[in-house]
Amino acid sequence: MHYKVCLLGATGMVGQKFVQILENHPWFKLTSLAASEKRIGKRYGSEVEWIVSSDIPKYAKDIEMVPLDPKQIDADIVFSALPPEIAREVEPKFAEMGFAVSSNASAFRMHEDVPLVIPEVNSEHLALIEVQKRKRGWDGFIITNPNCTSTMFVITLKPLMDFGLRSVRIASMQALSGAGYPGVPSLAITDNVIPFIRNEEEKCESEPLKMLGKLVGDRVEFANFKISASCHRVPVLDGHLEAVWVEFEREVSVEDVKKAFRSLKPLDLPTSPREVIVIREEPDRPQPRLDRDTGNGMSVVVGRIRRDAWGIKYMVLGHNTVRGAAGASILNGELLVKEKFV
């Protein structure tokens, strides 16, 4: 059985990645592309400046784009790659009309009744769906995946929770594709590092505490440890590389950490990687160019795991537009199907 899929915001960089990943998906069939008013009635292939690979997938070229109007959409699940300011207006209209919305946008991530989900980390937070529907009077619902930078290090923090986390510090080296298209001007980033990404550090310091928190009744009690983030744009096309320092409540060895990383098992879903966390033992890995496509871009890769004065430090890398964006929303959609929310 194929579930009919509508994609909101198909022409941007993340939208293009959705189109690419959904090609030949075993569960989902992309049947609707909803776009801005100026593109309504036009074919996708004629309107998109394709930038994520060599060519637009043939199956999508002739799909006629439709309005961002739930009354004109026939779909079982809606994926959203909308900018947050548009998502804030459009996504509730779809949820109210009974659609399951799996969103990559930041607009609703921190709302108390909206699940912010990484399936391998906190799938139990899907219970908030019924809370959301009841409180808002919607027939459908919205779930979200986190910020691309948060995703990578939160996946690694999940198996370390049993050791007792006291504090986490991260420094990110973020790829250009995370800024969308056309993104950062070439004269600003060539031969340069930009040590500021608007709102990024705030997201990295708040979203993980929700995801790693406990569901108690109708709300999530946020995790009780501190996060400090410093985020930077670097001249890399794809792949966010992050340095992470973790302080624990007790003594933890490098081998303890490696064993914990290996314990995080993949889910039985089409987009799940064989290994969620891949450990590289080489002293100069992970590297974006060499490791970002590990697990079809859905694995995170860690390396340089070592002790320091506070606890353990390591590097983590993930593909920001796959595991950190489109692939994350699609994996959430698969989880909704498996858990019978769709």
Catalytic residue among 6, 148, 204, 231: 148
232 annotated active-site: no
Cβ(336)–Cβ(342) below 8 Å: yes
Catalytic residue among 6, 204, 240, 319: 240
Task: Give the CA diameter of the chain.
Answer: 61
Going by C-alpha positions, the residue among 105, 69, 100, 101 that lies closest to residue 86 is 105
Task: Name which of 324, 186, 162 is nearest 242 in CA terms.
Answer: 324
In 110-265 the beta strands, taken as DSSP E runs, fall at 141-144, 165-174, 214-216, 219-221, 226-233, 240-248
In angstroms, the Cα distances linking 72 to 53, 197, 320 are 30, 37, 32
Sign of CA dihedral 268, 273, 276, 282: positive
Residue 260's φ and ψ, nearest 5 degrees, are -65, -45
Q: Are strands 214-216 and 219-221 parallel, antiparallel or unpaired?
A: antiparallel
Return d(Cα 166, Cα 169) in angstroms, integer: 10
Tokens of 135: 């409180």
**Residue 148 is a catalytic residue:** yes
- Just list the catalytic residues: 148, 240
